[in-house]
Amino acid sequence: MDYFNPKKINLKDHPTLSERWVQDRISENPTILGLGDIVLKDKERIQPKAGRLDLLLQDPETNRRYEVEVQLGKTDEKHIIRTIEYWDIERKRYPQYEHCAVIIAEDITSRFLNVINLFNGNIPLIAIQMTAVEVDNKVGLFFTTVLDETPLGLVEEDEEVQELTDRKYWEQRGTKETVSIADELLRVLHESDPNLNLKYNKMYIGLEKSGNPNNFVIFKPRKNSITIEVRLPKTEELDRQFEESEVDILEYSKRYGRYRIRLVKKDIKVHGDLINHILKKAYETSII
């Protein structure tokens, strides 16, 4: 293959390529941002007394929304504040969705990267650096995430504030049968570590070893099913395996780094190999 040196373009000073042009290219194919299989929900979305949101993107599988602000040139205070303001407006108007603020700029300087990083952890915020190149009189855009969301532990994982319950509590909240699914999954986990035990908290059934919590998997029995939340990095391979098996995936929370999966009794047998695989993988990831 022949090597060539592409020409980098400064969009801010370009005579014809504008911020609207960049918005249009993202709108045509939002997946170029690297945020997953997302779609355009709205463009130039009017905000009450606060201008217009450049792009509103959404993950159709999880109903996670991204409030996107595009800026040519270097990041500045005005755009950072605007990004956070639009995110805050949207999350208050539509609390049924999970929201994430996204700022895109050609140059995210170290100074403003530090400023943005101060917010991250309290505000789900992603910073993406945009690069435009010219090859054979054609323009291409590349997007690189330079600051991702800080993965947060679930509030439920704060063991000091958890009220302990017992098995009977969960058999009443769910059923004996759905709680027994947690028993079967624990037996699978015992193949990796026989010292793991169930710990009955008020909000979920967790795992403990020698009295210490290790909630790489948590269980929430319901009346007709059980929801398990498995802490694993999201990968195309896992997603493919889930899709092929038709396991009931509720969502992947990037914010918390967990797959939420709904299971019924028969799933343990029908999808046993896949369930065993993800539980083993989650355990191995937890001890790295």
165-220 pLDDT, tens digit per residue, is 899 999 999 999 999 999 999 999 999 999 999 999 988 999 998 888 889 999 99
**pLDDT digit string, tens, across residues 28-74:** 999 999 998 899 999 999 887 778 999 999 988 777 899 999 999 98
Give the fold, CATH level 3, of 155-286. Answer: Aspartate Aminotransferase, domain 1 (3.90.1150)
pLDDT at 24 over 90: yes
Q: Residue 31, SS3?
A: helix
- Residue 163 has a pLDDT of 63
Give the span between the Cα atoms of 114 and 110, in whole angstroms: 6
Say if CB 8 and CB 132 are below 8 A apart.
yes
The runs of H, that is alpha helices, within 41-166 are 77-93, 110-119
The pLDDT, as a whole number, for residue 239 is: 87
Q: For 95-103, what is the mean pLDDT?
A: 89
Buried residues in 3-38 as b, exposed as e (16+ CB within 10 A): eeeeeebebeeeeebeeeebbebbeeebeebebbeb
Is there a contact between 221 and 178 (Cβ–Cβ < 8 Å)?
A: yes
Question: What confidence category does residue 159 fall into, taking pLDDT thresholds of 50, 70 and 90?
Answer: very low
Q: What is the mean pLDDT of the chain?
A: 86
**Whether the Cβ atoms of residue 73 and residue 106 lie closer than 8 Å to each other:** yes
Q: Please tell me which residue, 254 or 37, carries the higher pLDDT value.
A: 37
Q: Which single residue is written with the structure tokens 């493919």?
A: 240
What is residue 83's three-state secondary structure? helix
- The crossing angle, in degrees rounded to 10, of helices 176-189 and 272-286 is 60
Q: State the pairing for strand pair 248-253/258-263.
A: antiparallel
Q: Is the pLDDT of residue 162 over 60?
A: no
Q: Return the bridge partners of 226, or none.
A: 221, 263
Domain ranges of the chain: 7-147, 155-286
CATH T-level fold of 7-147: Trna Endonuclease; Chain: A, domain 1 (3.40.1350)
Residues in the chain: 288
For 108, the token pair is: 């995210």
CA distance 138 to 108: 25
pLDDT given for residue 288 in this prediction = 61
DSSP 3-state of 69? strand
E strands present in 179-244:
196-200, 205-209, 212-213, 217-221, 226-231
